[in-house]
Amino acid sequence: MMNHGYTYQSALASAETVRWRIEDIIGGEKGLDFSKPFMPESFARVQELAFLNDEEKLLLNQIRGNAYLCIFGLVEEFILPFVIDHARQQVHGDDYPMRAFLQFAGEEAKHIQLFKRFQREFEEGFGTHCPVIGPAQAIADAILAHDPLGIALTTLHIEWMVQRHYVDSIKDDQELDPQFKSLLRHHWMEEVQHAKLDTLMVESLAAGQSEEEIMKGVEEYIAIGGFIDGGLKQQVEFDLDSFERATARLLTDEEKEEFRRLQLQANRWTYLGTGMTHEKVLATLESLTPKARQRIESISSAFC
Ligand SMILES: [Fe+2]
Ligand SMILES: [Fe+2]
């Protein structure tokens, strides 16, 4: 077990100090500014596409920003039932875990609604329909068919990834649209507690498991990552199509290949690499068994 100091009681207490309503952070005067980028360049990687002009790079950045929030909405649709099921199993147990997980679930339900609301605003302002992978239920069903430890590790990866994105790349980026940034900031404020609760969840699921059982969970986490990677390949095709429609520019075959290659790696880094190489994720894996950390470290460079 790691010496992280996280407890259900303190996570709940922190969560209760964060209070925002969807209506307070989106809609009305709080509109998106389409003259600004939405995504930090470290995730968008549009500057590497030398054959695009500045306006085209901006549009692609915004297409990626829309996909980013929609993909978070999608993954939260598997996290929500997973956390509810986990809470339900403890209904006659201690009060703090129960309340902390219900709070967690309530926040994810709010985030799902926030991201749907964002998607509507985005489409109205951007003017071009930008498809995103789905449907959410099919993705959730595929992920939830895996071993609970594998699902919990995937959730842990996502929660720490959100922390890293905001703190390292978004918070101090003054170029980004302030409204888009505000949505990410409010989301991050609640995700801080989720990352800690997921750490406790992983530990409780792994408690009493043999090394072999734990490594099975790690392989399931990798399998879910492979499934998400397949979704990202599809998303790059959607983004390419959205880009051509938004700019009314048809790329040559060579340009399309370059677009696919660079954007797939940009998506892999955004959703997979930043989680698999997160020190907190690696520390939790190591606490289960050093083999778990070694296994993830042996494959993570492909997603960076
Ligand atoms: Fe969330
Ligand atoms: Fe979360």
3-state secondary structure at position 132: coil
Cis-peptide into 40, omega within 30 deg: no
Residue 29 dihedral angles phi and psi, to the nearest 5°: -70, -20
Cβ atoms of 248 and 131 closer than 8 Å = no
* Stretch 223-238: mean pLDDT: 98
pLDDT digits (tens, 9 = 90+) for 97-118: 999 999 999 999 999 999 999 9
Cβ atoms of 86 and 108 closer than 8 Å = no
Cβ atoms of 22 and 114 closer than 8 Å = yes
d(CA 23, CA 26) in angstroms, rounded, equals 6
- pLDDT of 85: 96
Find where tokens 């952070």 sit.
25
* Stretch 260-264: mean pLDDT: 98
Cβ atoms of 69 and 183 closer than 8 Å = yes
Question: How far does residue 157's CA lie from ligand 2's centre (Å)?
Answer: 10
Q: Residue 2 pLDDT more than 80? A: no
Q: Which ligand is nearest to the CA of 112?
A: 1
Count the neighbouring beta carbons within 10 Å of the beta carbon of residue 269: 16
Question: How far does residue 278's CA lie from ligand 1's centre (Å)?
Answer: 18
Task: Tell me the pLDDT of the chain averaged across its residues.
Answer: 97
Question: How far does residue 225's CA lie from ligand 1's centre (Å)?
Answer: 18
Question: How far does residue 80's CA lie from ligand 2's centre (Å)?
Answer: 9
- pLDDT of 74: 96
d(CA 252, CA 268) in angstroms, rounded, equals 24
Question: How far does residue 6's CA lie from ligand 2's centre (Å)?
Answer: 16
pLDDT digits (tens, 9 = 90+) for 65-77: 999 999 999 999 9
Q: Residue 1 pLDDT more than 70? A: no
Q: Residue 256 pLDDT more than 90? A: yes
Residue 98 dihedral angles phi and psi, to the nearest 5°: -60, -50
d(CA 162, CA 185) in angstroms, rounded, equals 10
pLDDT digits (tens, 9 = 90+) for 135-189: 999 999 999 999 999 999 999 999 999 999 999 999 999 999 999 999 999 999 9
Cβ atoms of 40 and 184 closer than 8 Å = no
3-state secondary structure at position 202: helix
Q: Residue 260 pLDDT more than 70? A: yes
Question: How far does residue 248's CA lie from ligand 2's centre (Å)?
Answer: 37
Question: How far does residue 69's CA lie from ligand 1's centre (Å)?
Answer: 10
CA 264 to chain CA mean position, Å: 16
- pLDDT of 121: 96
Q: Residue 267 pLDDT more than 90? A: yes
Question: How far does residue 91's CA lie from ligand 1's centre (Å)?
Answer: 23
- pLDDT of 3: 86
Question: How far does residue 142's CA lie from ligand 2's centre (Å)?
Answer: 19
41-66 exposure pattern, b = at least 16 Cβ within 10 A, e = fewer: bebbbbeebeebeeebbbbbbbbbbb
Question: How far does residue 230's CA lie from ligand 2's centre (Å)?
Answer: 22
Q: Residue 90 pLDDT more than 90? A: no
| Distances in whole angstroms, Cα of residue 133 to Cα of each of 80, 126, 263 | 18, 19, 15
